[in-house]
Structure 1
């Protein structure tokens, strides 16, 4: 704590000293600000003051505006590393309403900044929707699907809300790389609150949505929050100097011999962002970058994009900026400083010995205190993550589960070699999976989950209990868990042969999927889902059935995995949510519209998997024409128009019996019905697949057809 205090005070003094001798931020002869907004290069006001037209600032009596995207600027950051090496621009944005007549002081349309070097910051912004019985989604961000759903709240008054948990206000994180903020509003009936889609707090059923800086929104919702009274909404844009901009390559080459800056290079592939950092320009390493930003190194201050921008800080000019002892000489160096002693050598040696002894004592005390703190922290994490509740459930007669083990953090750290990166098996939306070896020699898959909401701890523990009850040969077995870490850890049996998706969509001559294997995998997955829906102690809905969540064991038998978003429900009950979960291409359209998940939603996702097994096509493909990009739509239309055999996988046509193929195809079509009531249950699906008869004249029948 004392060390952190000293560092904090030193940092504040360093900032104060830097402000006293401010380094230039703009090109010579150019304006440095507009209406209390600093304008650093590569941004600028007037000809020759900005690097590219995208960074041109127009200053008028209202404020500073980015000319090409017509957004008012509140703040520009060029080298603050507290923003995680990404440069930001804070701009004014507006609230999007469902109707132009809805009352709002900052109403406006959506924003489209495609083609610009700006993207909405995914780590600093959040998506907010306000309204009664409203499903708001971002339009134009395909293939991503994100948004949220808000219910009516009869207790709120005058349109004021002090939380955003789903009652008349909901929120959602946004993916990386978004450049469009158009919103689609849908009225939905909420039988849990009221039948009308209008509310006294929202005239004419008005609904609002907007992207907003998360910290700003959280600070304003500490008190009553009214959309209609807000003058403007701040939003943060990430920016970078693009490779295609004029003089960008020359700028990088000019940085080659400079020792005062670091540059961060970016590569954006779709919604994924890759980042690496180097301290000088090297063409062989930076040829594949799409953009870059730079910052001054420690010991320097100023604007890294100017030839004289990063200036050395003279730490010796202020005793608060260096740690040299009294009566020692301080010598300033480029980017740092050096201390040389002037005291008597004996005094120095004595002081050194005394300091060493004191350091050893302090180190021992620190280690003892650290160990005690670690023990306390583990106990706190165990209690916070529901460990006491889990122990109570395991010790009760009702939940006497002998094969569920509660591991210690030391056991799993040893099993994964301190969670070494070489042990990573894969990453998913619910966490990261490591390969581990327990002390008994068994191989496991250890999943480091995302942080569990403390309000849902009882539900999280109940899910562990439920998964522990599952005993099916085609469901990945839960071995145990660890709750004494900040992020809970789940331990599963290890499945060695990858996912079904890899064998369907990645060419592999070593082990091609035959028709017989595809049919067997379909039967095994259907049987597992039928067990979860009807044979388990409580019905369990998986909610994310897809080919990447179907693993293959050492004998290439199917294993259903990843129950991170699964839910257990009572019989004849659907699960109502305020945030839509799922994977684009597998998501049940009926669930997306109503936010009510049932067993028939799993049936729809299984239908997409059946279509993948028959066609070898991906669930979403940009190669197909727009109306057929969804495999579900493409498959259904091909069935209805009689072109099924034109889209079948070549191996299926060669090896499969025509009657078997038609039975499975018709079953897949029924599973993909838009109306969930028309879909079969998983028990019916399993019986039909098990009834498919094996014949040996498939090639002959196919040639006749």
Structure 2
């Protein structure tokens, strides 16, 4: 019995030392130092214990895995207070970059934007850092674009709104924070949608902030094939325009409903969506590549405007690409003109419907009348419906 308790004591002591070792190696002391300097950090960056997160994920059970990528594995978990979270188990970080990692954690935890996933905190007691994010229930944009059996397929109105929200989130990161933040992995699988299809940009695993007076980062090339800025790939210089290129690919996905990379059946080679889209634009054959649903629901003028904007985002010369702020503004103008047009058409239809019924009633000498009701869905998921009785 004594041996058992001695074993338990030594094991507990060994586990404690191990946690302390990982905590120091992962930058825990630096984070504590920053918290002492600024107490507000503690309110926004919660330090979780490994015990809390093991309990939340049933010891990181495989059944809790939400997704796996180049930067780590994401698990679904439930905290003791009942809050559902997404827990990202990062891959090993370079010990030389610990300071930068902690600075990024503090910075990202202070980002407050309705279209950016909120970082709730981290755990530094494990071999690799664990990052805890708010959980978004409705999956990724990629899934909704590609799932042709989706109960609520993305209408053109919804796609345009999603494009605006993604652009606004990236514009915020680029220009509205104290230090510009480059996402560096913008893609449709990193764009989540909540239960109301509101955008939440996620996965800042390789994001970096830069000094205000700098214009680029010189780094090892990282990112996702199909979204990677060719200019960055050649020079290793990542600028805000590199995020713009990746956003351009997402915009083309929304327009075409196609995957960023697909295989050519004849040549068995992977062909990038960006290149296929640019070739269609040059040949003035946009209709060939557009999603049939988009072609049916969108007006020619607005589709052309958005397509030309995507073409500018994909310019091989980064300097000729628009900024995210300019993109957000241009997309919002298209969206507002679309809403104005829809409102005008609805009013016109209402007047015509009532006028025609009044004439019908007059001709037939009726003394009572029925009126037409025009009902507009509150959700973009359903088209405008006109009911008559």
TM-score tier, shorter chain, comes to: 0.7 to 0.9
Question: Which deviations, in whole Å up to 9, do the C-alpha atoms of 1:104-161 show, x marking residues without a partner?
Answer: xxxxxxxxxxxxxxxxxxxxxxxxxxxxxxxxxxxxxxxxxxxxxxxxxxxxxxxxxx
Question: Which deviations, in whole Å up to 9, do the C-alpha atoms of 1:421-459 show, x marking residues without a partner?
Answer: 211111111111111111221110011111121111001
User: Is 2:150 aligned against 1:509?
Assistant: yes
Q: Secondary structure at the match of 2:22?
A: helix
Query: Are 1:515 and 1:651, in contact at CA under 8 Å, matched by a contact in 2?
Result: yes
The match for 1:648 is 290
Output the CA distance in 2 between the equivalents of 1:624 and 1:670: 29
User: Is 2:314 aligned against 1:679?
Assistant: no
Gaps of 5+ in 1: 1-359, 699-705
Residue 624 of structure 1 deviates from its aligned partner by 6.6
- The structure with the largest alpha-carbon Rg is 1
Within the candidate set 611, 615, 619, 2:252 is matched to: 611
For residues 509 and 448 of structure 1, do their structure 2 counterparts lie closer, same or farther at Cα, with a shift above 3 Å needed? closer
The match for 2:172 is 531
User: Is 2:194 aligned against 1:556?
Assistant: no
Give the TM-score taking structure 1 as reference length.
0.47
Question: Which deviations, in whole Å up to 9, do the C-alpha atoms of 1:593-612 show, x marking residues without a partner?
Answer: 10000000000000000000
Question: Which deviations, in whole Å up to 9, do the C-alpha atoms of 1:626-650 show, x marking residues without a partner?
Answer: 6981111111110111110111101
Within the candidate set 139, 149, 155, 1:498 is matched to: 139
Query: Are 2:312 and 2:321, in contact at CA under 8 Å, matched by a contact in 1?
Result: yes
Query: Are 1:445 and 1:492, in contact at CA under 8 Å, matched by a contact in 2?
Result: yes
Output the CA distance in 1 between the equivalents of 2:301 and 2:84: 42
User: Is 2:72 aligned against 1:431?
Assistant: yes
Within the candidate set 85, 88, 93, 1:444 is matched to: 85
Within the candidate set 277, 288, 295, 1:635 is matched to: 277
The match for 2:365 is none
The match for 2:351 is none
The match for 1:197 is none
Q: Secondary structure at the match of 2:263?
A: coil
User: Is 2:144 aligned against 1:475?
Assistant: no
Q: Secondary structure at the match of 2:275?
A: helix
User: Is 2:8 aligned against 1:367?
Assistant: yes
Q: Secondary structure at the match of 2:254?
A: helix
Residue 623 of structure 1 deviates from its aligned partner by 2.7
Gaps of 5+ in 2: 346-389
The match for 1:413 is 54
Of 435-444 and 394-403, deviating more is: 394-403
Q: Secondary structure at the match of 1:377?
A: helix
Output the CA distance in 1 between the equivalents of 2:290 and 2:235: 33
Query: Are 1:499 and 1:552, in contact at CA under 8 Å, matched by a contact in 2?
Result: yes
Residue 395 of structure 1 deviates from its aligned partner by 2.2
Output the CA distance in 2 between the equivalents of 1:561 and 1:374: 33
For residues 624 and 640 of structure 1, do their structure 2 counterparts lie closer, same or farther at Cα, with a shift above 3 Å needed? farther
Question: Which deviations, in whole Å up to 9, do the C-alpha atoms of 1:192-218 show, x marking residues without a partner?
Answer: xxxxxxxxxxxxxxxxxxxxxxxxxxx
Structure with the higher strand share, 1 or 2: 1
For residues 508 and 395 of structure 1, do their structure 2 counterparts lie closer, same or farther at Cα, with a shift above 3 Å needed? farther
Residue 617 of structure 1 deviates from its aligned partner by 1.1
The match for 2:381 is none
Query: Are 1:543 and 1:601, in contact at CA under 8 Å, matched by a contact in 2?
Result: yes
- Equivalent positions of 1:196-207 (< 5 A) are none
- State the number of aligned residues: 338
The match for 1:567 is 208
Q: Secondary structure at the match of 2:262?
A: coil
Bigger relative contact order, structure 1 or 2 (CA pairs below 8 A, ≥6 apart): 2
Structure with the higher helix share, 1 or 2: 2
User: Is 2:313 aligned against 1:664?
Assistant: no
Give RMSD over aligned pairs: 1.7
Q: Secondary structure at the match of 1:691?
A: helix
Query: Are 2:230 and 2:316, in contact at CA under 8 Å, matched by a contact in 1?
Result: yes
Residue 362 of structure 1 deviates from its aligned partner by 2.9
Output the CA distance in 2 between the equivalents of 1:363 and 1:651: 68
Q: Secondary structure at the match of 1:434?
A: strand
Output the CA distance in 1 between the equivalents of 2:44 and 2:234: 40
Output the CA distance in 1 between the equivalents of 2:25 and 2:38: 24
Output the CA distance in 1 between the equivalents of 2:285 and 2:303: 13
Q: Secondary structure at the match of 2:315?
A: coil
Q: Secondary structure at the match of 1:667?
A: helix
Output the CA distance in 2 between the equivalents of 1:469 and 1:681: 23
Q: Secondary structure at the match of 1:487?
A: coil
Output the CA distance in 1 between the equivalents of 2:49 and 2:303: 50
